[in-house]
Amino acid sequence: MDSSADYARRVRARPSSSSASDLTGVTSPQYRHHSGSVGVDQQLLAHTGGYSNVRSGDMGLRLEQQLDTVLGVSQDGPISHLSAEAAQHYNPADLAGWIECMICDMQPSSSQAQLHTSQQQQQQQHSPTPTHSSFVSMESSLDSMDSQAPLQPALPSAAAAAVMPDMYPADDISDSMAGALCPQEDTGVEESGVRLVHLLLACAEAVQRSDVRMAEDTVRRIQMLATPQRGPMGKVAAHFVEALARRIFGISAEPTSDPLTELLHFQFYETCPYLKFAHFTANQAILEAVQNHKRIHVIDCNLMHGLQWPALIQALALRPGGPPILRLTGIGPPHQSGNDVLQEIGMKLAQLADLVSVQFEFRGVYAQKLDDVKPYMLHVRQGEAVAVNAVMQLHRLLHNDNNCVPAVHEVLQSMRSLNPKIVTLVEHEANHNSPVFLDRFMEALHYYSTMFDSLEACSSSSQSSEQLLAEMYVGREICNIVACEGFDRVERHENLVQWRRRMTDAGFQLRHLGSNAFKQASMLLTLFPGDGYRVEENNGCLTLGWHSRPLIAASAWHCS
């Protein structure tokens, strides 16, 4: 078996034909025979989960019920489930080692972040309750920011009712909200939760009508009220008040693409099932679409750490009749360090492919934006079965504030020109792209309250460093949705109905996700604590949600 140095010598630097991209390539050796069998059991799911301290139960949708009461949203009925028998699982062994290897270069940053988080927790435990409100970034322990003037002391909490808009009379809802909370919580906490929801909505309404003074006063009151609040209510309120403060006081939002984002992305991947669901479902759809082809070319619209592809490589190694030849093209932005990160990921994937006797070739395409990538840069070859993978990426291309054609239209046309066997699409099941700020804010508040409830149920400790980093990942989405506008606002999530229309208009036809994808996803959820996660079939697509609220949706498409 070749060493890592042998793989390094096989790296080919390919000159770019466009200034918009730099290309790298890695190729694994060719094989004459299979190196041996790989155990097929449930270890893939076990290794990718990596959870030992599993606890049952969930947060009871406390925050979601509060918001439902305030906004007048009724919950849907129970979700139906399909049988989980006879699934064709692809579960090769020892996947965790490869995933750990692929992110090993980030471990110093992770350890440092955990240390800072731990120190912050200790300081909070030994610090007195603040007597005035000051705006502090949720990421202040990880990202240094320019000094900012503290906000003025908040008004007494008794005055909070004065800023309540008439559309949300407190007397009409406080009792029902209190009933939605767990009985162990005291009346003061219940009233604080009710008041937080009211104040967040009042502040958003003030922003909507450009009442800057009212918005400033309200955000100070929220900051004071949210500081001592515990649980998902306090956490989601803290992220929304940070986003509101950034918008009101003109403080730029944190970047959505930087080295810290990569770390937060990985912690979110590890903490909850959403990204694993996306990867498992997309991989299963790709496997079924290319099962009769000997040459496969997968194009990943955002490679990140490459965590999706070890499972696919090992699944292809087990294919009856022998594995196909696999080419993987990974797209990603240039790294701030200047390192050829895509090449490094490709080498590690090539090592795994070598181990399981899959002929493999990797090529990296650097681009700041997905719409900078043109079809000719992807080097599609005749006779290849092309699969395009877009997980949580296309929503970033929906900007059309000046009635211009969104970039997603051009990207979908480029995908269509490749004549792919399948396009796998995973997106948030939400509508955060409304041009009306208040509508967008209310939808986001509802959506992320459910998300934070589910994150709380996934962790044995709500104050663990891993949990806090995962919450920061979600918090960055909130901040971008609330604080940014124009081209800076990239978290423009749309729901499955809207994506169906876009894909159909671009010349794609829905490819129904089979029962195997549903069974894989259902099996994955058994590794996570809490009994609130739900997989549901939706007219050929799959959604993953928390209780009755779908949070992400997966679909597959082919050329019509």
What is the CATH classification number for the domain harbouring 525? 3.40.50.150
What is the rounded distance in angstroms from the CA atom of residue 106 to the CA atom of residue 172?
A: 50
Q: Are strands 325-332 and 295-300 parallel, antiparallel or unpaired?
A: parallel
448 occurs within a structural domain: no
For residues 490 and 179, the model is more confident at: 490
**Taking residues 162-179, what's their average pLDDT?**
32
User: Do 106 and 263 form a contact (C-beta atoms < 8 A)?
Assistant: yes
Report the 3 state secondary structure along 401-457. Answer: CCCCCCHHHHHHHHHHHCCCCEEEEEEECCCCCCCCHHHHHHHHHHHHHHHHHHHHH
Q: 137-141, 375-379, 476-480, 556-560: which range is least confident on average?
A: 137-141
Give yes or no: residues 529 and 410 share one domain: yes
**Taking residues 305-309, what's their average pLDDT?**
96
Give yes or no: residues 284 and 359 share one domain: yes
Q: How many domains does the chain have?
A: 2
Residues near 253 by beta carbon (within 8 Å), at least 6 away in sequence: 243, 246, 476, 479, 480, 483, 484, 488
Give yes or no: residues 234 and 328 share one domain: no
Q: Evaluate if residue 181 carries a pLDDT over 80.
A: no
pTM for this structure? 0.72
Give yes or no: residues 232 and 371 share one domain: no
Phi, psi for residue 284 in degrees, rounded to 5: -65, -40
- pLDDT at residue 28 in the model: 59
Percent of the chain with pLDDT over 70: 64
* Both tokens assigned to 514: 């089979």
User: Do 507 and 414 form a contact (C-beta atoms < 8 A)?
Assistant: no
Give yes or no: residues 225 and 289 share one domain: no
Domain-ending residue, one of 221, 249, 277: 249
Domain-ending residue, one of 249, 275, 299: 249
Task: Identify residue 214 by its one-letter amino acid code.
Answer: M
Q: Evaluate if residue 342 carries a pLDDT over 70.
A: yes
Q: Evaluate if residue 124 carries a pLDDT over 90.
A: no
Residue with tokens 């090449």: 343
Give yes or no: residues 270 and 226 share one domain: no
CA distances from 185 to 181, 310, 464 (A): 7, 45, 22
Task: Identify residue 47 by its one-letter amino acid code.
Answer: H
CB atoms within 10 A of CB 386: 24
What is the rounded distance in angstroms from the CA atom of residue 365 to the CA atom of residue 382?
A: 20
Q: Evaluate if residue 50 carries a pLDDT over 70.
A: no
Q: Evaluate if residue 141 carries a pLDDT over 70.
A: no
CA distances from 401 to 125, 222, 244, 411 (A): 45, 30, 21, 18
Most confident of 55-69, 110-124, 328-342: 328-342
**Taking residues 368-377, what's their average pLDDT?**
95
Give yes or no: residues 348 and 380 share one domain: yes
Q: Evaluate if residue 537 carries a pLDDT over 90.
A: yes
pLDDT in tens, 396-440: 999 986 778 899 999 999 999 999 999 999 999 999 999 999 999
Q: 24-38, 252-266, 331-345, 384-398: which range is least confident on average?
A: 24-38
Q: Evaluate if residue 3 carries a pLDDT over 80.
A: no
Task: Identify residue 450 by its one-letter amino acid code.
Answer: T
**pLDDT band at residue 461, thresholds of 50, 70 and 90?**
low
- pLDDT at residue 296 in the model: 99
The whole domain housing 534 covers: 259-429+493-559
Give yes or no: residues 241 and 271 share one domain: no
* Widest Cα–Cα separation across the chain: 78
* Both tokens assigned to 55: 């606890």
User: Do 298 and 389 form a contact (C-beta atoms < 8 A)?
Assistant: yes
For residues 256 and 503, the model is more confident at: 503
* Both tokens assigned to 318: 């087990």
Give yes or no: residues 507 and 416 share one domain: yes
Give yes or no: residues 381 and 500 share one domain: yes
Q: 118-122, 326-330, 520-524: which range is least confident on average?
A: 118-122
User: Do 305 and 102 form a contact (C-beta atoms < 8 A)?
Assistant: yes
Helix (H, G, I), strand (E, B) or coil at 318: coil
Q: Evaluate if residue 384 carries a pLDDT over 70.
A: yes
Give yes or no: residues 238 and 321 share one domain: no
Report the chain's mean pLDDT, rounded to a whole number.
Answer: 75
